[in-house]
Structures are given as C-alpha cells and as structure tokens.
Amino acid sequence: MERCVVSTDASARRPPLSGDVQDVLADPLRLAEEYALLRDVVEGTEAAVSILDTQLRYRYVNPQMARMSGLPADAHLGRPLSAVLPGVKRSDEVLRKVLADGTPRQLVVSGRTWADSPYDRRVWRATYHRLQDRQGRVLGLVGIALEVSGRRQYVDELERAHRRLALLDTAATKIGTTSDVVTTCTELANFVVPELADAAGVELRLDESDVRWRAPQGVLRLRRTALALRPDLVPLAQAAAKPGQLIDYQPGAAIRQCLETGRSWLRNRITPPEWRAVAAQPELADGYIAAGYHSALVVPLIAEGHVLGSLSLARASGSAPFSRDDAVVAKELAARAAQGLARAMRFSREHTMALELQRSLLAEPSRAHQNLETAARYLPADDRALVGGDWYDTLSLSGGRTLLVIGDVMGHGVEAAVAMSHYRSTLRALAQAGLKPHQVLRHADRMVAESGFDRVATCLLALADPRDGSVTYASAGHLPPLALTFDQRARLISVPVGPPLGTGLGGYASSTVSCPAGGVLLLYTDGLIEHRDEDIDTSLYRLTRLRLPTTGPLMRIIDKALESLTPEGTDDIALLAARLECPATASISRTHGEL
C-alpha cells in the first residue's frame, strides 16, 4: 500500500489519534493520517508485532518480527508458528484461552529461529490480546513480544554457575576421603553417576618400572580402577572392562587421544562405526552400542604436571548430549580428584616402602640359644595406611646370654620405619660391644640426639642370662614387662624408667631379677592395652588380670593374650614372648645406676 503523507500541523486540524472514531472515519484525510502514524509506530518499534487469525495463522508481521524470525514477512502469512519456526516453542493453548474469553495473557516463548543469534537459546516475553470488530465478532489475536534472551542467558549462567559451585563443593567432601588410590577412584566414579553421566570409568597409568604390566612397544596400557553405571545399564554393560582389568588402547581411541594431548575429548551423537573407532578396542564398542551410549566425554587426570590417567563419561538413551558446561565441570572435578590421587599414590609408594622395610626388620626371631624359646607377633593398626614404628628383636650374645628388645618409634610411615631401622641397628651394635642394658640405652640416646634425628622412641631391654637364671631390665620410657607364672597369674615387673631415646637427657638404670621359673616373659607395645577412654594405670591393671597357661606353644599364649585384651586396633602392636629355662638358684634382685 502506498503510504500517505499528511500534515500534522495542530493549527490546521485536531491532533492525530484524538476525537471520536466516527469523526475520523468520516474524514478520509484524517483517516489516512492516523493510519500512517499507527503503522509507523508498529513497524518502527523494537517489539515483534504479529496478527493471527482465529486458527492462529499469521495475517500480519511487522519488520522486527521478520528480522527476528530470519524470514521475509510474506513467508509467514497464512501459516501457523509451527510451520514457520519449528524450533520455537509456544503454548497455543494459552492463545486459545485468549480467543475464548478475551482476557489478555502473557507467556514466555523460547527456541531458535532462522536468524543468526549470539545466544544459545532465544527467549521472548509476549502478550496476546483478542481482536474483534464493532459487532463483537472475534477476528483473531495481536501479539507483542520483546526479546529477553540476554537477560535470560545471564540468569541461566548464574544458575549454572551456582549449580557448578554446589556440585564442586559437594565433591570436595565425597572424593579423596582416604589415602587409598582405589577408594579415591571409586569415589570419583560414584560421584559423577548420576550427577554428570550415566556411566563413568577411571583409568590410571601403570608403574612403568614394573615389568609385569609393561605393554608392547607402541601400545597404551591402562588399568581400569573404578567403574560406575546407572542401575538400568548394569545388565547391558557386561562387555565393559571391570575394575582392576588391564586395557590396551588402539591408536585413535578417545582415551588415548586425551592422554596424549592432555586435553578433554568430547563427542555427541556417536554412530556405531564411530564407536568402533574411538573405543579402546573395536570389540568393546559392541557393549557401548548395546547399552545405548550416544555421547562420550573424556578428561585427563593431571596433577603436578603429570598425566595420571583419565575420567571417562558416557550418556545413554534418555539423557541429553554433553554440553560445554558439562565439559567444564568434568574438567574441574578431574583436576580436584587428581590432586587427591597424587597424594594417595605418593602415600601408597611410601606405605609400600615402609611396609617392606618393617617386614624385613621384623622377621620371626629364631631360637637364639637352646635354653631360650621366643615367639613374636606384629599386628598393624586397623587402618593399614598407618605403618607404625613398633619393633621387636632378639640378639644372641656371648656366654649364652640373649638380649630381648621391644620398642616403639613416635609416628607412622616411612620416617617411622626408617627410624625403627636406625634404632635397631644402633642397639644391636652397642649390645654386641658388651655394654650393660642401661649403658646401651645411654649411648644410644646420646648418639641419636647428637645426630639430629628427630624421632624419639621408647624401648625396653631384657638381658636373659641362663647361667644364673637372671634377667636384667632397662627401660627408656617403655611400659613394664609382664611375667606370666606357672600358676596362671600375671604380674608387672618393676623396672627403672628413663626418658625416651633421642631426647639426650640420659639417666638410665638397670635392675636384675630372677627369671620367672616355669613362666613366660611378655614384652609389648602400647597398642596392646591402651584404650582412649581409660588412663594408663587402668590399662596396666587389666593386663595383670590375665589368666593364661604358660605351657604349650608361645604363639598360642600370644593369641590368647590378644583375644583376652581385645585391643582397639587404632595403633599397631608388637609382642615378644620368651620362655627361659631357669636353674634352681636363689632369688636375685639388684639395681645398677647409670655409669
């Protein structure tokens, strides 16, 4: 239609859009003027304006509506929204209610149009009014919509950021709760299913120094350490590699690409041929296809500059593909979990070293002399990560004598095990030099203190001499020995107690008493008797209530003692039992001060 240009001089006629409608209709010039003005308003606004008939088909769209849709205005006419913009969702039921009762209504319309947009999802807030003629006949609807995509995207991003932070905060309390590598991997896999994926696996690199796991040249071999699945996928995932299984990865496999580049790998809507190309091995792809996996995301586990392994995620039927936000969250989760894994791996290496060192030093004592029988037992704490510094030793000396040693180094781990080795070697060297027990402790204390060694230890020495049936004791802050007599009674042997070794304070003394005729001598560490809810005197009193036979194998006596005392298991325990064949001699009791 050719647009009319009319004067709007207020001195010539009344202002436009004022006065009675009948007057306007009776004046063609005024009617043309007001029509042009209204059309300028409708076509110049930033709002998208459309007119629909009673079948919700377009009868008119303004230029902004055409720009918004990415289609010319004529492409809309006579067609409903679903035919013009199939990617946009609108509740037509709301529009029919407006047609029925005439009440204007607002609604939110969202989706994607044919026009380019900087927003992932476009959103409009629209208001619809009913149109009717002067006789009240319903003609259709007029809709006015304003795009609020920017505001909505900002709100969505805030909500996603909040959910992401909440997820990461929760992960901090559920992943890495122990110093165990397998437990940490399992916690990671269990956390991301179902929060982030329908299936998750954690694969770790192998120790390259261990020839048992070394892969052929050019082959990437990993160990699947953890696997978590959505419950309904468990029966469909029988072909998946189980935790503990070694997996060799073909060139081009998704996990291999991730580890070789150190970057995340994301693929959605994966076809069966693509699965066979990106799976570890083509035959494993059949399980993924059967389970309905359609999307995969692999992120590296990197800590301290080293790629430790990967976290692999998959989504199956019923779940949306992975988004860029999902990849960001998975990467952050993997980074946090990798720090915990690095600590657990470091602890595992140190634990293995400490355990091997401890085992090498705690070999079962042999029969030192024909007139002395010994047996020993070491029990780690319930938390196997806590390799302690408890130790025992027997040493054959000249004249048929035997030195019995029990000790406890402060702390746990490699340092405690190394300190235990140091103390054991020092005491052996001093004892073989012919020193008395309290002299051995004095020299050991001074040597350790002067060396700067910062691990103190308690220690009890018992020098058994079958020639006169005596046992000479010296203690460096250790618990007193226990004598089990032939009449099934138990008594603590009073021993002069000096400070722990390594303090440099000295002040040790020895006491010599007769060996328990027909009885057994029991040396032990504090883990045997200490309870958190009682003082040490009460704990020692419980020890004296033991009623154990002294005949039979010594190991059986040790087992009975452990059974009767029921240790808490929070600390490791060392026990050394000795049965000495004593000659019929008079009672011996004497004390030697420090020389």
- Each residue's pLDDT tens digit in the chain (595 positions)? 334 333 334 444 555 555 566 665 667 777 778 778 888 888 889 999 999 999 999 999 999 999 999 999 999 999 999 999 999 999 999 999 999 999 999 999 999 999 998 887 899 999 999 999 888 999 999 999 999 888 877 776 677 667 777 888 888 888 888 888 999 999 999 999 998 999 999 999 987 666 677 777 778 999 999 999 999 888 776 556 788 889 999 899 999 999 999 999 999 999 999 999 999 988 788 888 988 999 999 999 999 889 999 999 999 998 989 988 899 999 999 999 999 898 888 877 776 666 666 666 665 554 556 678 899 988 877 555 456 688 899 998 888 899 999 999 987 777 777 788 889 889 999 999 889 999 999 999 999 888 877 789 999 999 998 888 889 999 999 999 999 988 888 999 999 999 999 998 989 999 999 887 778 999 999 989 888 778 888 889 999 999 988 888 999 999 999 988 877 667 888 999 998 876 655 455 566 665 4
DSSP 370: T
**Predicted local distance difference test score (pLDDT) of residue 76:** 95
Query: In a 3-state reduction of DSSP, which class is residue 379?
Result: strand
The pair of three-digit structure tokens given for residue 111, joined into one six-digit string: 């989706």
Q: Do the bridges between strand 265-267 and strand 122-132 make them parallel or antiparallel, or are there none, so unpaired? A: unpaired
With a CB cutoff of 8 Å and minimum separation 6, the contacts of 94 are: 105, 107, 128
Cα-Cα-Cα-Cα torsion 365, 367, 369, 374, nearest 10 degrees, comes to 70
Task: Assess contact for 213 and 206: CB atoms under 8 A.
Answer: yes
With a CB cutoff of 8 Å and minimum separation 6, the contacts of 216 are: none
Domains in the chain: boundaries: 1-44, 50-147, 174-352, 362-592
The C-alpha atoms of residue 206 and residue 188 are separated, in whole angstroms, by 19
**Predicted local distance difference test score (pLDDT) of residue 595:** 43
CATH code of 174-352, in short, is 3.30.450.40
Architecture of domain 362-592: 4-Layer Sandwich (3.60)
The C-alpha atoms of residue 87 and residue 113 are separated, in whole angstroms, by 6
The C-alpha atoms of residue 376 and residue 481 are separated, in whole angstroms, by 14
The C-alpha atoms of residue 535 and residue 543 are separated, in whole angstroms, by 13
**Predicted local distance difference test score (pLDDT) of residue 9:** 45
Tell me if the bond preceding 194 is cis, omega within 30° of 0.
yes
The C-alpha atoms of residue 58 and residue 142 are separated, in whole angstroms, by 10
Q: Write the DSSP assignment of 165-231 as a string of letters.
A: HHHHHHHHHHSS-SS-HHHHHHHHHHHHHHHT-SEEEEEEE--TT-GGGPPPTT-EEEEEEEEEE-G
Phi, psi for residue 225 in degrees, rounded to 5? -95, -25
Instruction: Give me the long-range contacts of 118-121 (CB less than 8 A, separation at least 24).
Output: 119/149, 119/150, 119/153, 120/153, 121/149, 121/152, 121/153, 121/156
Residue 576 belongs to what H/E stretch? strand 573-580
Residue with tokens 């006579």: 78
Encode burial over 61-91: b for 16+ CB neighbours within 10 A, e otherwise.
Answer: bbebbbebbebebebbeeebbeebbeebebe
**Predicted local distance difference test score (pLDDT) of residue 2:** 37
The pair of three-digit structure tokens given for residue 50, joined into one six-digit string: 């459309």
Half-sphere exposure at residue 82, Cβ-oriented, CA atoms within 13 angstroms: 5
CATH entry, 50-147, from 3.30.1200.10, 3.30.450.20, 3.40.50.720, 3.40.50.150: 3.30.450.20
Asked, colleague to colleague, whether 50-147 and 174-352 share their fold, the answer is: yes
